[in-house]
Amino acid sequence: MKKSASYQSVAAAKMKSGHGDSITSLDGTRTISWEEFEKLFDAGSDEIDAFIDWNKTTSHGGRRPGSGRKPTGRKSYQIRMKPEIHRRLKRQAKKRGMTIAEVLESLVP
């Protein structure tokens, strides 16, 4: 059985199928009840492959091309300093209309 299918997608297929209380295999040779299908699904049986066209299943989530935050070329660092130094840096940044990081960068040649 394919791992990508979810119980919700199977339930959605059941609702859309209009087959009533049973499901027929893709090749039309076997019909089973939805209860039996759910038991096979819950057991992780490969027998359900005969009833599901895996090319038509939808997948949700995961990485998509072009998604996510774009790289800025910056990296985060953590430093320890006395609270008074932090207050002074914060004050300077506000006075200059800069961020604390920009103030620190301006101090380094």
> Is residue 109 situated within a structural domain?
yes
What's the distance, CA 58 to chain centroid?
A: 13
How many domains in the chain? 2
Q: Per-residue confidence of the chain (109 residues) as pLDDT tens digits?
A: 444 455 555 555 555 455 568 888 888 898 998 889 889 889 988 888 888 887 776 667 677 888 888 988 899 999 999 999 999 999 999 999 999 999 999 999 8
pTM above 0.85, yes or no: no
14 and 43 share one domain: yes
| Burial letters 30-69, b for 16+ CB under 10 A, else e | eebebeebbebbeeeeeebeebbeeeeeeeeeeeeeeeee
> Is residue 66 situated within a structural domain?
no
50 and 83 share one domain: no
11 and 51 share one domain: yes
Name the residue range of residue 49's domain: 7-56
For tokens 């939808």, what's the residue?
A: 58
